Chain A
Amino acid sequence: MTDLAYAQIDQTILNTLERPRPRYWFFVALVFCGVLLGAGAWTYQIFVGIGVGGQNIPVVWGTYLINFVFWVGIAHSGTLISAILHLFRAGWRNPIARAAETMTVFAVCVAGLFPFIHLGRVWQVYFMLPIPNQRFLWPNFLSPLVFDVVAISTYLTVSSLFWYTGLVPDLAVVRDRSTGLRYKIFRILSLGWTGAHHQWLNFSRGYLFFAALATPLVISVHSVVSWDFALGIVPGWHTTIFAPYFVAGAIHSGLAMVLTLMIPLRHIFRCERIITMDILENVAKTIILTGLIVGLAYGTEFFIAWYSRNPVEIESFHWRVTGTYAFGFYFMAFCNVLIPMMLLLKPLRRSIPWLFGISLIINFGMWWERFVIIVGGVAHDYPPHSWGFYAPSIIEYTILVGSFCLFLFLFLLFVKHMPSISMTEMKETATHAG
């Protein structure tokens, strides 16, 4: 996996924490402007009202919910790579696990903003929380929306703790090679970690439990997100396939985002000997698998609609391939199922430009998949007189751009100030390879 000695591993990764060049700060400032733009659009919406978005009867769930599902999906591959592949002892995950975990934490943070944005009157969010209030009203735990509040907040807490726990030994490495203020900061952050035998004994055990707990959690979280839709009696939503369909889609988009982030990262930080071509190829192979599962799910939805002989369901799926948003359906099928199959060809799988391009296309396609599912369901449900159309407004587009900028802003700050590759796990990989 890697032929580097411990010192080389440390040096390669510590080099990523060197004082950034002006170009880095220029990019940080640029994405921060995008964040301000998004924040400005949200502020405008708060003052004027939710009507500045394109959502209206019958399509009351629009871009904000699409973004929410998209970002939760992105968050999933981090836990897949760090927890599930850790349990399977897949050594190739080690160089990319930290960045994927970081991606998870920031993506959940971004996702968590969208229910607030969609709420309109954001100050009334406390109604979702089980706290005493003047009307003696409590959350209804029969509602999938309340399941979602519990699941997402659990996922954010668990993934943040998992991420920080894994960081502690590496923070100690940075501490031991720092001076001045940086030393003081990392001394506190590393909790006085010294790699003593009793610390490793408990760390290894605790990390294993973390992985074992995060694995069912990650599957449950996107299942719960899917039930926001599946428990509603809307044609196109009300189906039992949604939980595995959403989980597979989430991992598909998350793996694509891993490639989108790791390819520039390895080039900029010159980590080609750590994040090797074999690792990127393994991610690509996993994308083929998830692409096939997603394709199977697309097909199964149509089969079930036909097999059920339910006229409303049949009409809904007929409209999906011939109606207003048919282009969205063909686009998502093309981007999420057909394009990833190009990775079956080894030369493309081992080509950086192809991998990067395909990962971007999948990300784009997965956003459209959520558009087709969410908007397509409510725009064309039971009574024909209530059928409608939805197009996002400029405010929604601005908030969408702002969300991507916020994610990139946090990620850019992280990779230059914290070890974005786990030195400890890389050393373990090197030891086992040796």
Chain B
Amino acid sequence: MPAETYIMGLFRDDGKAARAIQDLGAAGFSFRRAHSPIPSHKIMEVLKLKKGRVGWFTLTGGILGFLSGFALAIFCSVQWDLIVSGKPIVALIPFVIVGFEFTILFSVFGNVIGLLVCSRLPDYRGLELYDPRCSGEHFGVLASCESTRQGELMGFFQKQGGEARVFE
């Protein structure tokens, strides 16, 4: 089986990058990734991506935080059950504040974990098939093909208005 070659098409316009992604499949090449300096709606639309799943992590964190905040406040109160200022030992209204802060805190922890998991970060190996210009002003489309079709894929990107970079 012939070896696979990775080639990145670099475009100055996200519209052209999106069009290249759209036409890659029809030309018989495999799309791998798109890189951009900003989130591009045109690229997202072409890729027909569903919403990220970060929200589920955030929600889980929030629920855990709400329960933990209340549980901590109740646990501490019942350890030393002295009535202070005539308030009940388990005074739910003040504990809402603790519950609220913990909800936010744990939601954010969930959000960060979700972000790292869903974005597959940290990912230092991803830099091997990456062009630094993609953080500047270029939109990169990474595609692969059999090494025998390398010239075809380079020609495809150039025809689409970009320049091609081959990863050895």
Chain A positions 146 through 157: 1 when the CB is less than 8 Å from some CB of chain B, otherwise 0? 010011001001
Which residues A1-52 have CB closer than 8 A to chain B?
A: 5-7, 10
Min CB–CB distance A320 → chain B (angstroms): 27
Min CB–CB distance A164 → chain B (angstroms): 9
Chain B positions 43 through 68: 1 when the CB is less than 8 Å from some CB of chain A, otherwise 0? 11001010111110010000000000
Q: B101, A199: Cβ atoms under 8 Å?
A: no
Contact A192:B112 (CB < 8 A) given known A138-B76, A203-B119:
no
Q: A196, B34: Cβ atoms under 8 Å?
A: yes
Answer yes or no: A130 CB below 8 A from chain B CBs.
yes
Q: A203, B39: Cβ atoms under 8 Å?
A: yes
Nearest chain A residue, comparing its CB with the CB of B124: A192
B115 partner residues in chain A, CB cutoff 8 A: 165, 202-203, 206
CA distance A176 to B33 in the complex (A): 18
B130 partner residues in chain A, CB cutoff 8 A: 194
Number of A-B contacts (CB under 8 A): 183
Point out the residue from B69, B107, B118, B135 that lies within 8 Å of A169, measured CB to CB: B135
Nearest chain B residue, comparing its CB with the CB of A141: B73
Q: Could you tell me the dominant secondary structure of chain A's interface residues?
A: helix
Contact A173:B119 (CB < 8 A) given known A197-B47, A202-B114, A213-B107:
no
Q: A176, B136: Cβ atoms under 8 Å?
A: yes
Q: Which of B22-30, B78-86, B143-151, B153-161 contacts A (4 or more CB under 8 A)?
A: B78-86
Q: A194, B134: Cβ atoms under 8 Å?
A: yes
Answer yes or no: A351 CB below 8 A from chain B CBs.
no
Q: B37, A427: Cβ atoms under 8 Å?
A: yes
Q: B95, A7: Cβ atoms under 8 Å?
A: no
Q: B132, A427: Cβ atoms under 8 Å?
A: no
Answer yes or no: A239 CB below 8 A from chain B CBs.
no
Chain B positions 82 through 104: 1 when the CB is less than 8 Å from some CB of chain A, otherwise 0? 00110100010011011011101
Answer yes or no: B137 CB below 8 A from chain A CBs.
yes
Q: B76, A140: Cβ atoms under 8 Å?
A: yes
Contact A201:B44 (CB < 8 A) given known A210-B111, A213-B107, A220-B100:
yes
Answer yes or no: B166 CB below 8 A from chain A CBs.
no
Answer yes or no: B5 CB below 8 A from chain A CBs.
no
A217 partner residues in chain B, CB cutoff 8 A: 101, 104
Nearest chain B residue, comparing its CB with the CB of A220: B100
Answer yes or no: B2 CB below 8 A from chain A CBs.
no
Min CB–CB distance B97 → chain A (angstroms): 5
Answer yes or no: A137 CB below 8 A from chain B CBs.
yes
Contact A176:B135 (CB < 8 A) given known A205-B51, A209-B111:
yes
Nearest chain B residue, comparing its CB with the CB of A168: B121
Min CB–CB distance A248 → chain B (angstroms): 20
Q: B49, A209: Cβ atoms under 8 Å?
A: no
Point out the residue from B58, B105, B125 that lies within 8 Å of A192, measured CB to CB: B125
CA distance A403 to B144 in the complex (A): 56
Q: A199, B119: Cβ atoms under 8 Å?
A: yes
Answer yes or no: B168 CB below 8 A from chain A CBs.
no
B47 partner residues in chain A, CB cutoff 8 A: 197
Q: A195, B36: Cβ atoms under 8 Å?
A: yes
7 sampled A-B residue pairs with Cβ under 8 A: A142-B91, A151-B97, A165-B115, A202-B118, A203-B39, A206-B52, A213-B104
Closest 9 CB pairs of A and B: A176-B132, A6-B137, A138-B76, A141-B73, A206-B115, A200-B39, A191-B122, A202-B52, A205-B52
Q: Report A's interface with B, CB cutoff 8 A.
A: 5-7, 10, 130, 136-142, 147, 150-151, 154, 157-158, 161-162, 165, 169, 172-173, 175-177, 187, 191-206, 209-210, 213, 216-217, 220, 224, 424, 427-428, 431
